[in-house]
Structure 1
């Protein structure tokens, strides 16, 4: 069941003034672990792009195309939100000067260089819809990471670097192989 929770009550319909930067919480109640498909069936006269934000995974999905998730049994009250902002503009930490990220289109790869003791946990590449394409677990002491991009279409992508203390650095890259 999908609903909106307002002042501890569940509603199937939610009408409120449009605010571009607002994240509207949605509530899922799942009876048993199951695959779930989410798709915006109709927008009416609403012209904005609508995204589903997964706060647990820090991912944005454009819901004009089907999204398939597997959700475990339970209530999801503070995990999913509807938002109208682009997934390329979530709040993010500016890359410290000791981290360099750039797309090398000639070599068909993204190059990440970490020049100090930024404790990297993982590096991931996402497409414009927020789908994770590849994730590389960090090796202790490793200062350079190369992610092959030769199999991806030309366009905008996002590199996210997660530190061991939970900080996330995001940077847009343009792949043009």
Structure 2
């Protein structure tokens, strides 16, 4: 499998700040992630943060990188486990299950990494593509892979937002989606 690109290097203090930022994000959500709140958690004054990271966008970019790295790592592991003697369709199902599990485990990090404009110029080169490649490897075609990711992302967001009716069998909905992406006729 493909090797993960190196994340943007951080000094030890900047890495500590990003770790605390993630804790704040995961516990309280994106709106709570302010430089003042981050400084308070670290027991320092907000201007001191700028000695280590130039702005809030840099903190968010570092968090996004970690989110992409975690999603990519989970997807590659699921794909690896599903390849080989697996029946047709198993890689798609495995990638979808891993994506859902990872996103639901860290909903605020997931939202940060996947909503709004993506500051690609601030991210480690090749990281976004690396993290998404398992969708291509599972689907076998770039547009189908993009549709597969769109399905997965939409399902995750709707699930996180509680938009499905009570009693919905979301496991079955995910399974039906996987089946739809693996049972279509070849073009």
**What TM-score do you get using the length of structure 2 for normalisation?**
0.25
Q: Which has the higher strand share?
A: 1
Of structures 1 and 2, the one scoring higher in RCO (CA 8 A, sep 6+) is 2
